[in-house]
Structure 1
Amino acid sequence: MDDFVVYILFSPSTGKTYTGMTSDLITRFHFHNQKSTKGFTIKYRPWIVVHVEFFQSKKQALERELELKSGKGRDWVRNFILPKYSRISES
């Protein structure tokens, strides 16, 4: 069973992305969109989940999160994930 999720959020109103890792995506998503009172994600609400990857270990998930936050990872997100959502940000 997969226990950890690396996720990418997209803010249609600003075009910003956020990459994170959790063991409970639904709860974490609610915190990003509603419950958090401080931090990066509150400034760019609402968020939508645009990509998820599942991992069996926390170590694997953390490694992938760091990879996605690197220059190459951000390029991959910009070139392969976000084009699917460009219409949303133009609305």
Structure 2
Amino acid sequence: MYCVYILYSKKLDRFYTGSTSDFDKRMEFHDSPEARKFTAKAHDWVLFDTITCESKSQALSIEKHIKSMKSKIYIRNLKQYVEIKEKLKSKFE
């Protein structure tokens, strides 16, 4: 099972969007200062939201779409309005 995850840093007031098949392992990567790149800029990343996907290609497409929006408001709306997530999942089946 794949998922798209969104992390939030209060210090940076920024979101980070990624996708993975093993969320726990991926979070270990983000917590490791030697391995991470963008997320090394802050140490207060918390899980903001996730979207469960049926396939790797679906997860990558949704991740790309969210990143292309370049909008904090869009990301906050994803969490607030579940129907947006459902539309995304059906759009990228």
TM-score, length basis structure 2: 0.73
User: Structure 1 regions of 5+ residues with no counterpart?
Assistant: 84-91
Indicate whether 1:66 and 2:64 are aligned: yes
Give aligned-pair identity as a percent.
34
User: Scaled by the length of structure 1, what TM-score is found?
Assistant: 0.74
C-alpha displacement of 1:66: 0.5
Given that residues 6 and 49 in structure 2 are in contact (C-alpha distance below 8 angstroms), is that contact kept between their aligned partners in structure 1?
A: yes
**Contact 1:67–1:73 (CA under 8 A) maintained in structure 2:** no
Relative contact order, higher structure (CA 8 A, sep 6+): 1
- Structure 2 partner of 1:22: 20
* Partner deviation per Cα, 1:17-56 (whole Å, 9 max, x = no partner): 10000001111112112x2414111112221000100111
Q: Does 1:80 align with 2:77?
A: yes
Kept in 2, the 8 Å contact 1:4–1:57? The answer is: yes
**In structure 2, do the counterparts of structure 1 residues 73 and 15 end up closer, same or farther at CA, with 3 Å as the change threshold?**
closer
* Distance in structure 1 (CA, Å) of the matches to 2:68 and 2:15: 13
Bigger drift between 4-13 and 65-74 goes to 65-74
Contact 2:15 2:72 (8 Å CA) reproduced: no
TM-aligned CA distance change 1:43 to 1:54, over 3 Å: same
Q: CA deviation at 1:82?
A: 7.9
Question: Following superposition, which runs of at least 4 residues in structure 1 exceed 6 angstroms of deviation?
Answer: none
**What stretches of structure 2 of length at least 5 have no aligned partner?**
81-93
